[in-house]
Chains A and B, each alone.
Chain A
Amino acid sequence: MKAKVHVTLKRGVLDPQGKAIAHALHTLGFNGVEDVRAGKFIEVELKSTDEASARKELDAMCTKLLANTVIEDYSIELVA
C-alpha cells in the first residue's frame, strides 16, 4: 500500500516561502493568485494491506518525525 503524506505549515504560522512564491507569481502576471502555502509531499510505501492499521502507523510516523506538530499540520491519503 502506498501513502501520500502532505505536510504544511499551520494556518497562522507565517509561511515566507509561500509568500515569496505568491510574489513571484504576481510578478509573472498571475494576478488572480490570492495566497500560496508551500509544504512537503512525502510518499511512503507500506507492507501493510490493512487500511486501518496503516493509517494508525502513518499517524504515529507523522507525529514522531514527518511533521513537527508545533508548527505543521499533516494529511494522509492512502492509495491501494
Chain B
Amino acid sequence: MKAAVIVFPGSNRERDAVAALEAASGTKPHLVWHRDTELPKVDLILVPGGFSYGDYLRSGAMAAHSPIMREVKARADQGVRVLGICNGFQIITEAGLLPGALMRNAALKFVCRTVHLRVENTDSAFTAKYRKGQIVRYPVAHGDGNYWTDTETVKRLDGEGHVAFRYVDGDGKDDPLWNPNGSVGNIAGIFNATRTVLGLMPHPEDAVESLHGNTDGKPMFEGLVEALS
C-alpha cells in the first residue's frame, strides 16, 4: 500500500501518521506539502491532525482551500481512500468530502484523554479488521470535535451505515456522559456514501504501539494494507 500524508502549516500529527502507516505497510509514505498541486500515485491519502492555520476562522476552513485539496478531492472522486483524523476530519469536512460540520466542544474545553468507541460498520477498508460492535480505545485531543448535522442527515447517516464510530461508555453502551465533545448522536467518525472516505476525531495512529498504552488503532492500518495492497 502506498500512502500520502498531507502537511499543512500547523499540522502536528503527520509523524505519528507516517509511523503508523510505515509499521503496517513496510513502505514509507510520501509527505506532501499543502502548496503542492500534484499527488504521487497512492492508494491512501491521510490528512493528519494538528492546528492547520492556527484554527483561524474555523478549524480546517483555510486548509480546505489549500492548493493540494483540489487534487485530494479529485482522487477521492476516483475512489482513492481518504482518511481524515482530528484536524484532518475538520479539513475534509470543510472541503465538502463529508457532510456536516465540526463545532466548538459543547463544554468549551479542550479534551485530551482516551475514549471508548463502538465500531458501527465494518464494511470498509478502514474498519474491516474490527468486529461490528467491538469496543476500542483511541485517544482524543481536540477543542472543536463537536460533530453537528441536521436531524435528517443524522437519520440518513445511520440508516445507510455511514456512522463509523460512536462514543460509548466502557461497556459499549450509548451514554452522552461519555461523549467528550457533545457531538450529535455521540458520533465520533463518519464515512462518505461509498465508505471510501473516513473522518474521525479520535487518533487511531496514536494507539498502535504498546508504549501508547494500547494497540486498538492497529487493525485500522492493517485493514487498509490488506485491502489496498
Residues of A within 8 A of B (CB): 9, 13-14, 16-17, 20, 40, 64-66, 68, 70-71
- A40 — which chain B residues lie within 8 A by C-beta? 57
Query: Are B101 and A16 in contact, CB atoms less than 8 angstroms apart?
Result: no
Residue contact B148 to A16, C-beta cutoff 8 Å: no
Known: A65-B57, A65-B61, A65-B65. A70 touches B101 (CB 8 A): yes
**Closest chain A residue to B148 by CB distance?**
A71
Which residues on the A side are within 8 Å of B182 (C-beta)? 14, 16
How many B residues touch A, CB cutoff 8 Å?
A: 18
Given A68-B94, A70-B149 in contact, is the A16-B104 Cβ separation under 8 Å?
A: yes
- How far, in whole Å, are A65 and B62 apart by their CA atoms in the complex? 8
| Interchain CB contact under 8 A, A16 and B107 | yes
Q: Given A20-B108, A66-B57 in contact, is the A71-B65 Cβ separation under 8 Å? A: no
Residue interface bits B55-70, CB-to-A below 8 A is 1, else 0? 0011001100100000
Q: Which 10 pairs, one residue from A and one from B, show the smallest C-beta to C-beta distance?
A: A70-B101, A71-B101, A16-B106, A16-B108, A68-B101, A68-B58, A71-B148, A20-B108, A16-B104, A71-B103
Q: How far is the CB of A36 from chain B (nearest CB, A)?
A: 14
Question: How many Å lie between the Cα of A11 and that of B54 in the bound state?
Answer: 27
Chain A min CB distance to B22 (Å): 34
Could you tell me the distance between the alpha carbons of A40 and B61 in the complex, rounded to whole angstroms? 14
